[in-house]
């Protein structure tokens, strides 16, 4: 069934209105009719099966038939602090990380970041990436749309320290300490919040890495002997973390 996100929690037998772009998509693109059913997600991890009752001029009225906690959302919340890549690579990162199951993105400006955005461009990019996350969440059956946070720099990322239980940083100069070793050494709670930091095309400087270790107590990790592109590294590490936590199936 087709999936739509709503900004309210509702109970069985309640009615909701879908309007705006979602209404246009439902009625004109998907050509759904009265009596057809869809899945509604409230953004808090609940899925609801709903039936279309009637169409209004600017919206569709639906009745909630059932409501249950989604089984697709990962208990372990992994956030990606992604160094800004060139061109449209961030679109790919957000799309694939959403499909895999990440909790959200922190766009990260670092000393070797090549692309530079002014305030207006940052707002446009943030909105665009949020739309990419929503589309990918619908496609992959997610019950929650990952959040795209404001831009942070490597200097002020420490302001988020208290939001996370663990901070992991991928660095090409680390040769031994892997994600597997991290999980062997730590008893990670199922509902842990993990921040995964990925550098831009130019990577992080040794000074930045030292600052991340000092300010965020970051654990420096490797993904093996091969050098991965920035758009590959975060997706690979995210997959490894969720696999280690059993979030990708038994």
Q: Is the model's pLDDT at 229 over the cut of 70?
A: yes
pLDDT per residue as tens digits for the range 9-41: 788 999 999 999 999 999 999 999 999 999 998
Which of 69, 102, 126 lies at the terminal end of a domain, its last residue?
69
Q: Band the pLDDT of 1: cuts 50, 70, 90.
A: confident
The answer to whether residue 250 sits within a structural domain is no
Alpha carbon distance 135, 3 (integer Å): 10
Residue 176 tokens read as 């031994």
- Give mean pLDDT, residues 41-50: 87
pLDDT recorded at residue 202: 86
pLDDT recorded at residue 244: 93
Q: Band the pLDDT of 168: cuts 50, 70, 90.
A: very high
Which of 43, 69, 95 lies at the terminal end of a domain, its last residue?
69
Nearest to 135, CA basis, from 122, 145, 147, 127: 145
Q: Is the model's pLDDT at 152 over the cut of 70?
A: yes
- Give mean pLDDT, residues 180-194: 94
What mean pLDDT is reported for the chain? Answer: 93
pLDDT per residue as tens digits for the range 50-86: 999 999 988 999 999 999 988 889 999 999 999 999 9
86 and 145 co-located in one domain: yes
CB atoms inside a 10 Å sphere around CB 158: 17
97 and 11 co-located in one domain: no
Q: Is the model's pLDDT at 8 over the cut of 80?
A: no
Query: Residues 21, 22, 25, CA angle at the centre, nearest 5°?
Result: 85
Give the percent of the chain with pLDDT over 70. Answer: 100
pLDDT recorded at residue 250: 64
Give per-residue burial for 181-196: e unless 16+ CB within 10 Å, then b. ebeeeeebeeebebbb
149 and 81 co-located in one domain: yes
135 and 57 co-located in one domain: no
The residue segments making up the domain with residue 198 are 77-244
Q: Is the model's pLDDT at 137 over the cut of 80?
A: yes
Alpha carbon distance 216, 126 (integer Å): 24
pLDDT recorded at residue 217: 94
Decide if 232 contacts 116 (C-beta within 8 A): no
pLDDT recorded at residue 43: 76
C-alpha to C-alpha distances, 157 to 106, 137, 194, 239, nearest whole angstrom: 9, 26, 14, 23
With a CB cutoff of 8 Å and minimum separation 6, the contacts of 128 are 91
User: Is 201 exposed, middle or buried (CB count within 10 Å of its CB: 0-12, 13-18, 19+)?
Assistant: middle
Parallel, antiparallel, or unpaired: how do β-strands 219-221 and 46-55 relate?
Answer: unpaired
Split into its structural domains, the chain has a count of 2
51 and 111 co-located in one domain: no
- What CATH number corresponds to the domain at position 85? 3.40.1280.10
- Give mean pLDDT, residues 169-188: 93
22 and 100 co-located in one domain: no
What would the DSSP string read from start to end of the chain? --EEE-SS---TT-EEEEEHHHHHIIIIIS---TT-EEEEE-SSSEEEEEEEEEE-SSEEEEEEEEEEE-SSS-SSEEEEEEEPPSTTHHHHHHHHHHHHT--EEEEEE-TT------HHHHHHHHHHHHHHHHHHHHHHT-SSPPEEPPPEETTTGGGGGGG-SEEEEE-TT--S-BHHHHHHH----TT-EEEEEE--TT---HHHHHHHHHHH-PEEEB--SSPPPHHHHHHHHHHHHHHHTTTT--
- Give mean pLDDT, residues 209-217: 94
14 and 110 co-located in one domain: no
């Amino acid at each position: 069934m087709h999936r739509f996100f709503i900004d309210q929690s509702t109970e069985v037998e309640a009615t909701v209105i879908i309007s705006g772009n979602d209404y246009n998509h439902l009625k004109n693109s998907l050509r759904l009719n009265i009596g057809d059913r869809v899945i509604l997600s409230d953004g808090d991890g609940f899925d609801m099966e709903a039936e279309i009752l009637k169409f209004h001029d600017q919206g569709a009225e639906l009745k909630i038939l059932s409501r249950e906690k989604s089984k697709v959302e990962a208990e372990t919340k992994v956030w990606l602090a992604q160094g800004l890549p060139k061109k449209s690579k961030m679109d790919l990162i957000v799309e694939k990380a959403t499909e895999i199951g990440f909790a959200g993105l922190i766009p990260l400006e670092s000393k070797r970041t090549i692309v530079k955005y002014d305030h207006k461009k940052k707002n446009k990019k943030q909105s665009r990436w949020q739309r990419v996350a929503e589309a990918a969440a619908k496609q992959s059956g997610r019950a929650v749309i990952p959040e795209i946070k404001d831009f942070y720099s490597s200097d002020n990322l420490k302001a988020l320290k208290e939001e996370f239980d663990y901070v992991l940083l991928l660095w090409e100069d680390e040769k031994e300490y892997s994600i597997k070793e991290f999980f062997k050494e730590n008893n990670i709670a199922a509902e842990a919040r993990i921040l995964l930091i990925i550098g831009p095309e130019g990577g992080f400087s040794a000074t930045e890495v030292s600052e991340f270790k000092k300010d965020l107590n970051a654990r420096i990790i490797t993904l093996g002997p091969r050098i991965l592109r920035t758009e590959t590294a975060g997706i690979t590490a995210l997959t490894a973390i969720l696999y280690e936590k059993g979030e990708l199936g038994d």
